[in-house]
Amino acid sequence: MPMKKKLRTLRVDNSEYLYSIGGTYIADTEESIFIMRIFVDKYSKYALFVHFRVLDDYYVGNPLNHGVLLYNTALEKKIVVNLNRPLFIRLALDYGLEQGWRPTKERLELDGLDLLVQHGYQIDKLLKKTYSK
């Protein structure tokens, strides 16, 4: 699935960010990648890209696109994680800024699964299972 063209707005304090979301399927590995693209207006070439590469679900595709129940160790309960929600866009923005992203100076790509782990989410069920004999 190509990146959606519709831009959405996220306001943080006095700053305004534009973002789009989308995803792609990798048939060889049966995985999919959910992609967040966040930038400041007129500086789209310096966007923050946050990728979430997970095992693709046969019925719904990327589970993070539709909502998946993940245990959060910090909150000690299960939370529905749907990356379309502004809460997760804001977490990705804050994560990018913490990692040194400068919205008007440079582009940055980050692994979104690291973000989820940092916030206490157990992501094992999103990853491809490997086994040995």
The pLDDT averaged over each successive group of 10 residues in the chain (133 residues) is 72 94 90 95 95 86 91 96 95 97 96 96 86 48
Q: Which of 30, 39, 46, 35 is nearest to 10 (CA)?
A: 39
Give the pLDDT score at 1.
47
> What is the rounded distance in angstroms from the CA atom of residue 88 to the CA atom of residue 36?
10
> What is the rounded distance in angstroms from the CA atom of residue 112 to the CA atom of residue 91?
10
Give the pLDDT score at 85.
94
Side chain identity, residue 126: L
Name the token pair of 29: 């590995």
Residue-by-residue DSSP string for 23-55: EEEETTTTEEEEEEEEEETT-GGG-EEEEEEEE
pTM of the predicted model as reported, rounded to 2 decimal places: 0.86
Give the pLDDT score at 43.
93
